[in-house]
Structures are given as structure tokens and as C-alpha cells.
Structure 1
Amino acid sequence: MGSKAIVVTLLACIASTCVFSLDVAIINSLNVMQSFQNYFELNPALAGLNVTILYVGCVFAVPFAGFVLDRYGRRRGLMIGSAIALLGATLQASAHEKVQLLFGRFLLGLSFIITGAGAPSWLMEVGPPKYREEITNAMVACLPITGMMGGLIYLGLYNKTSNWTWRAGLMVIKADIAGPAIALLILPFAPESIRWLVAEGRADEAFEVLVKIRQRTRNDPEILAEFQQIKQTIELERQLSQRDSWKSLVSPVVGTMVIAASFATLAILQQRIEATNQAAFAKGAVAVCFILYWAAFSSWMLLNYSYPPEILKYTQRARGVGVGVGQALGYLVGAGLSYAIPLAIQNLSWRYYILNCLWNVPIFVVIWWLFPETKGKTLEEIDSIFDGSIAKSSLHVIEGLPDPFIEGGQHEVKLKELKDSRVATSAQ
């Protein structure tokens, strides 16, 4: 299993989440295709609704996404999200009426939150601490790549007049159907989240998954220490979750809202390219856009998906609090900016660019002083940064290594702390 299980999990997450970037890249192309406009009799209001309804579905899905991921686990949760995406894409691609088109896009929005919250959390929970960020960022890096591919393909189809052009694009090129279908085929072979299994009282199964993923023996000291740490941290979080759940709901979302606001500069540059007929300005703006997109996608976009599930407790990741709610608020901010930016440019002119540049000052201060480093740490060690949890150190000496699964499921492992660890000798 081992690395193969990680690869299968990564591929499943990519297949289930790539629908989002493809949809964002394609929908604007569809709205300007003459055959698409004529078929659905698009006016500016309907074209805007065709984009916005996706975000409405995202926001609507927030409470349900948390329930699905907590109740059914990461693997089955992504299967449910992929099934919803498959249904939405099919309805959208086969639409003959405006209502069917919009309802299909609404379902796609529902699926985005489930897969968007579940995939990075899942990768964080099954990946080894040393490569956890790289694995999650590999998934996120595929989003702009697939979006770029979809945009380039539709650029070649722009002048086609047949209705089958945009239908084929929705069904095949856009991969709204291919992505979820591939995910549904791969997901049954991926391992479930170890932490979710422990939280559901399936410790024996969780231990076996951990052994296979780490490619160690069942009596390996590091495996036993890591598993003990996971169990203790989840139990502590379960005891504390009732007291601070609403407080902890708000704090991780603030960072995501700032991330969404920082993308306003990119949207402004795009608007200026479309609004001017000056070729020299357009070429220069395209170059600046390329640099800013590179900076954004190589930093903020990756961290937007990988950092929140890292710093959240298990009980928060399971409910999709930081990731799902944060993404939904990001979509709300993005939708608001899409309407506000033209008005702001009209009233403030070039001053609006300065306003957006000033966003970077408080962002820099907040990151420098408040964002803890997570590289190389286990999720339980990261928890201790915020809560001082009992799982402060992952380094222990295991004294005596009896078979941890003797009859009755009861076993005793003596843990002796090495340095600044609060984990005392414990019996289970």
C-alpha cells in the first residue's frame, strides 16, 4: 500500500476537484459564444445569473458539506460530492431550458464545497508529515493547469456556430462529467482518513491503515507513538469542542476572506484589458497579469487549500468549518467584487489601484506575527501550538511492545517523554 495509497488518494482528490477550475475557466467562454447566447437567449442579467448561481450553490452547501464529511468520512464524502457533480454536469450539458441549465450549475456549486473541503483535509490526514504540504499543494497546482487547458480548447471553438460545440465542450472538453466519473472509479481503492476512523471508534481499522500507509510493522515504535498521539489528541478535542466551537468557527475564516479580497487586483487588471482599445496597454497589462497570477497561484492559492486544514483541529476539519465556510465566504466576496469593481473604477479611477495595493500592508503584518510555521510537524503537534494539547511531542520511547491487538482489543503501551512533552505514561 504505502506510497501507492497516497498516489491513489491524490489522484482521486484531483479528479474530484478539477471540475471547479474547469468550470470557472469555461463559463465565461460559454457566455460569449454566439451559439450559446442564441440558444438560451442570454441577456446580461441571465449571463450574470449563470455565473452567480454556482456560488449560490457553494454557500447553500456549507452546513450540509460538514455533515456529509463528518457522518460518512472523507472517502465516501468525496464520492457523494462527485456523484452530485456528475448529476449537475449531466443536467447542464443536456439542458434545453434555462431552468435545467441553472439547476445543473447549482448542483455543481453544491459539490464544490463538499469536495473542496474534503479533499485537502483528507490529504492532510493521510499524508506523512514530511511531505504533507507538497502532496496537498500538488492537488491545488492542478487547478490552474486544468483551467488553462479548458480555456485554450474553448478558444479554438469560439467561432463555431453549432450547438453541439458548447454541448460537447461541457460534456467532454470541460470534463465536468469525466472528472467526477474518474473520481468515483478511483475512490473505492483509496484509504479512509485515520483520524476519522479513530473518531468513529474504529481504532483497530485506523491502526491497520496507518501501518499500511507508513509501510512499517505493527510494533514499530514510531507507528505506536503516532497512533497514540492521534488518539489522545482527538479525545482531548472531543472534550473541548463543546466549549469553543463557535469561537473557533470565526477565526480561521478571517484569513480566507483576506485572501479573496487580495484577488481584486487581478480582476481589475482583467477589466482594464477589456475596457481599453490601446494595444500597448493591453500587452503590458497581460504581462503584469501573468506575473500576478504566478505570484497568486504559487502562494495564496496553494495556502488557501492547504493551510486551513493544517491548523484546524480534527473536530473542525471534520465539519468543514475552516475550509468549507472559508471557501463559501471567499465566493461571496468574489461575487460582490465582480459587481463592485466596475463601479469603483468609475468613481475612483486610478485611485482604486492604490486602495488594492494597500491591502498587502495589513496582510503582511498579520502573516508575519500571527501565522505559525507548520512544515515538518504532525497535525497533533500543530494542535499544540494553538491549544497546548497533550499531544505536544511525537518523540517517545516505547517500553515493551506487546501485540497491540490481543483479544478484546485492550492493550497497554508505556510511553516515556523525551523532552518537552506532556504525554505521560498511559494505559489504554
Structure 2
Amino acid sequence: MLRKGLTGTWMPAWVPESTFTLSMLLLFCSMVQSATGGYDGSMLNGLNILPVYTDYFNLTPATTGLNTASVFIGGFFGPLCAGVIADYCGRRPAILYGCIICIVGIILQTAAQDIAMFVVARIVLGFGQGITGVACPVYLSETFASRWRAWGVGLLNDFYYVGALLAAGITLGTAKWDSTWAWRAPSLFQAIFSFLCIIILPFIPESPRWLVKNDRLDEARCVVAQANADGDISHPVVVTVYKEIIDTLAYETSTGASMSPKEIIRTPGARRRVLIGASAGPFSCVAGNVIASYYLGAELDTAGITDYNSQLKANVVLNVWCLACCLFGTHLAAAWGRKPTALVSQSLLIICLFIIGGLSKMYADNMAGASSALVYGNVAVMFLFQGFYSIAWTPLLTLYPPEVMNYSIRANGYALTSLSLNCFAIVMTYVMPIGLTNIGWKMYMINGSWDIVILALIAVYWVETKGKSLEEIDAIFEGVKHSDVPDVEEVRLGREQVDVAAIDRAVEQKAGNFVEDFNDQKA
């Protein structure tokens, strides 16, 4: 049964009261959103292998890097405004605007006549992805029930590989077409994910945290009930979650916290949260996966696999493997914890990079006499590397930063995460083909060395967020939780009891004070 709800924005919503149905819709929104980025990476991977694409644009290593990296130029500018849009217009409208911009970029990319048009189109596409890439993780982390947040938000990036797999299959299928549609058709198919996301948006609610912050308290409680207890607003878990949100946002308001981008640097606590959360972006980008994500052909060349059809098939197999690994990694993050998963994955990446570098050097020193065991052994380690990367960085990139940041800095803080990721990605995707061409195996050794530094930073500075609601994570950074109700998981598991009537009365009083503070702040 659908229930029409007010959302505090121009976009109404007809939301199912069933928690299971709503969770499936949120998951689907998460899946199709992440598939856009995965499709793009794998498509360019395939196109960079296709002679009909490289010959059409007369690509050199420098222009190959420009064509590929241009999406990150748009991805640099998108987050600059994404946080502000998500905070002031609403999470759902921000996702919608980003999807529309993505579709415009995809149409231009498909119709590209030269490098300049292709690059401009990918900048537009990257701009749209930059907006949705901020709004979607923030929205999902704030809307999912805490017990499903790891899977719900982790899948946001896991389905990168579903899009990647589709793109790999499509580019493999169109590879033999004797026309520019060999690369235009895969480009056009990319728009389907944004269309699907737009179709889902009318049937999912606005973020309850955004609704509370914008004085839509009854609607927020309804959303919490829909996300946790089949619409029962008097359920103990619903009352507990709702009071945590009210108490925590009231505390933030009382301390003068605003939604300005400057808030991310206003206090020492905010700066610490942002530095830890935003580190996931650049850490994941420089870990080494850029080589296989966008330049698998060049990587396989260094290993001795030079036939383009074999490389395209390897691209398909790689994405199936990575999808399996990131789903396993999401399970580890949910059951084992975010920080342990990151530490183990990063350690395995370092080992793989040094092995790949050594095997690539052996092949480079004796290409004519290289054994098939050496060639395929190198390829096997490359595949292991991508799998180990997917275990931690694929789910944690979207899951961890919104958890670490509190409401007043979440959208702008995650925008900084995305911005820093795209800054590093612009450099990495442009430099990697040049580096692989000029110094070959040494690129792997350099990459492995800086990954050791990343491992140390994670071990020292990251915090664990498993099993906590977004509001309960405050205690890690500030030493105290800003609500007097028991932890949500304790209530859900029956280890703590709550007096619903007493909490309702306290919420009513707190809500009245919150509205007064909210109106004073607006004035």
C-alpha cells in the first residue's frame, strides 16, 4: 500500500508502508545509481582497446588520458555545488537534477564528432555524476535503518561492477561492428541507469534527518516508521530513532552549527571528522585500481596479453570477479567492521603491487623468451589485486564517509570526499598511461610504496562505526551521545526497554524547543 507523504520539497512521494518494500526500492535506487559510474569506467576500458574508437579520434597516450580523465573534470566541479543543493533543495531533488545532467552528457558523448566534443560531453556527464555521487550516499545513509545501512549504502558502490559488467559485455558485442556505432552504442546505453533512478524517486521518501532539520517533524517520524517498522509510529525502535534525531539535531542547532560549507572547518571536531571521512576518496583512488579500471589494455600489454579480443574477454571476467569480491567485502564491513576490512584489504593490495611489478620486470627484460606461466601468473595477480581492492574500497568509499560526519557537515563533507577523489583521479588517469608507457613495471613499485603510507594512516586515524546509528557515532568523536535514549540496536534486540509514552512526551517538548531554535536561526 502506497502512502502519499509531504517531503518539504516540490517533489511529492508515494511511499510503501512496508519496510521490506521500501528497503528494496532504496536498494534499487542505490544499485542503478552506482551502475552509472561502473558502466562508464568499464566502457572506456573497452573503448580504449577498440581500434575503431582509437582510430576515429587518432588517440595518443596524452589524448587517451584526456578523453578518459575528462569525466573527472566534471566530477571536480559537481561536488562544489552538490552539498549545497542537497542541503537546501533536499536529497531527492539533488539526485534528480544530477540524473538529468548525466543524461544530457551521455547524449552529447554519443553524438561526439571529435575529441573536443567528446571531452566536453564527458565533463557534463562527470558534473552530473558529481552531484548524484554526493546526494545519493548522504540520502541513503540517512534513510536506511541502521541495521541495514552497511548493505544498503555499501551496495551503492558495489553495483559499480554490475554496470561495469554490462559495459564490458556490450563493448565485447559491438567490437566487431564496422562503424562508429561500435563505440557510440555502448555510450548511449549508459543513460538507462539515470532513467531508472528517475522512475524510482517518486516512490521513496525524503531523508528523515533533512525533514527534521527543515521543521517537518511529523513527516520525519512517518519516514522513520516506514524505514523501521512498517509504518508503526509508536514502535519502540521508531520512537528511539526519532528521539535520537531530534535530540542530536537540537544539540547541533544549539551550538550554532549551520549548513554553510564553512561548517566543515569551524570546529576541531568537524575538522577531524572531515579529514577522516574525506580520506576514503583519495585513499581509494591512489590504491592502484585506476590502472585496471581504465587502462586494462595497457596493463595486460605489460604482462604479454596483446590481442584486443582477449583483452575484452579479460575485462568481462575481471568485472564478474570484482562484483563477487565487493559483495563479500560488504558482508565483512557489516559483520566484522569497517576499519579491519580496510586494513586487511590494503595490506593485500601492497603485496600484489610488488608482485605485479616484479613479474612485469621479468617479462620486460625478456619479452621474446617469456614463458606462458610468467604471462598468465602476472595476469592472475592483477586479477587478485582488483578483487582485494573491491573487498574494502568499493563498499567503504560510499559507506564510511557519511557515517563519520554529523548532519551539519555530512553533505558538504561528503562533497569534499568526492572532490578530493576526483582531483586525484584526474591526475591518476592522465598520468597512468604515460607512466606505463615510459617506465612500465616501475609504476607498480611506486604505487605499492605509497600504499604502505595509506595503510599506516588508516591504522592510526580511522575509527570504527559498525553497529551504531548515525547519531550514536557522535560519542566516538565527542565522548558523549547527545540523546538520553538507549542505543537503537539494544532496543531492537530487546536488551533495553523504553517507555514509549514518556519518550513521546519528551519528544513533544524537545520538538517545540527545536522548532523555536530553528526559527530563530533562520531569522
TM-score scaled to structure 2, two decimals?
Answer: 0.70
Alignment-derived partner of residue 167 in structure 2: 150
1:383 to 474, 482, 501: 474
**Matching of residues 24-423 of structure 1 within 5 Å:** 24-172=41-189, 176-215=190-229, 217-238=232-253, 239-241=255-257, 242=263, 243-244=266-267, 248-263=273-288, 271-275=298-302, 277=304, 278=370, 279-319=372-412, 321=413, 323-341=414-432, 353-388=444-479, 389-391=481-483, 393-394=486-487, 398-399=498-499, 401=501, 411-412=508-509
Greater mean alpha carbon deviation, residues 259-268 or residues 377-386: 259-268
Distance change >3 Å, CA 302–CA 399, structure 1 → 2: closer
Deviation at residue 81 of structure 1 after TM alignment: 0.8
1:98 is displaced (CA, Å) by 4.2
Runs of 4+ in structure 1 deviating by more than 6 angstroms, as ranges, are 345-349
With over 3 angstroms needed to count, the CA separation of the structure-2 counterparts of 1:349 and 1:153, relative to structure 1, is: closer
Check whether the contact 2:277–2:400 (CA below 8 A) recurs between aligned residues: no
| Rounded Cα–Cα distance in structure 2 between residues aligned with 1:196 and 1:49 | 38
Take 1:343 and 1:93, find their aligned partners in 2: how far apart are those partners? 26
Counterpart Cα distance in 1 of 2:466 and 2:381: 31
Is contact 1:74-1:119 (8 Å) kept? yes
Q: Deviations over 1:45-66 (max 9, x none)?
A: 4333211211100001121111
Query: Which 10-residue stretch deviates more, 207-216 or 176-185?
Result: 207-216
Within 2, Cα distance between the matches of 1:341 and 1:403? 57
Greater alpha carbon shift after TM alignment, 86-95 vs 187-196: 86-95
| Distance (whole Å) between structure 1 residues aligned to residue 390 and residue 237 of structure 2 | 35
Cα separation, 2, equivalents of 1:11 and 1:140: 12
Cα deviation digits, residues 277-313 of structure 1 (max 9, x gap): 4454331121111111111111122111111111111
Deviation sequence 1:181-219 (CA, Å, 0-9, x none): 111111111111110111111111101111122125322
Contact 1:256 1:330 survives alignment (8 Å): yes
Rate the CA distance shift 1:6–1:265 in 2: closer, same or farther, 3 A: closer
Distance in 2 between residues matched to 1:400 and 1:180, nearest whole Å: 41
Look up the equivalent residue of 2:409 and give its one-letter code: Q
| Partner AA of 2:100 in structure 1 | A
Q: Deviations over 1:6-35 (max 9, x none)?
A: 211221222223111101111232244333
Give, in angstroms, the shift of residue 41 of structure 1.
4.6
Q: 1:281 to 1:333 in 2, by over 3 A?
A: farther
User: Once the two structures are aligned, what percentage of the paired residues are identical?
Assistant: 26
Q: Is the 8 A contact 2:146 2:467 kept in 1?
A: yes
- For residues 150 and 444 of structure 2, the distance between their equivalents in structure 1, rounded to whole angstroms, comes to 33
Give, in whole Å, the separation in 2 of the partners of 1:265 and 1:179. 23
Q: 1:337 to 1:100 in 2, by over 3 A?
A: closer
Please name the residue that 2:357 is paired with.
none
Deviation, structure 1 residue 366: 3.3
Measured in 2, the distance between the counterparts of 1:209 and 1:97 equals: 48
Structure 1 contact 88–108 (Cα < 8 Å) conserved: yes
Q: More displaced, 345-354 or 382-391? A: 345-354
Q: Please give the secondary structure, in 2, of the residue aligned with 1:380.
A: coil
C-alpha spacing 1:251/1:368, structure 2 compared with 1 (3 Å): closer
* Structure 1, 110-119 or 262-271: larger mean CA deviation: 262-271
Q: Distance in 2 between matches of 1:250 and 1:386?
A: 12
Partner of residue 8, structure 1 = 25
Residue matched to 2:515: none
Report the RMSD for the aligned CA atoms in angstroms.
3.1
Q: Give the Cα separation in 2 of the matches to 1:296 and 1:165.
A: 30
CA contact (8 A) 2:157 2:397 kept: no
Preserved CA contact (<8 Å) 2:290 2:428: no
In the alignment, structure 2 segments of 5+ residues that lack a partner are 1-16, 258-262, 305-369, 512-517, 519-523
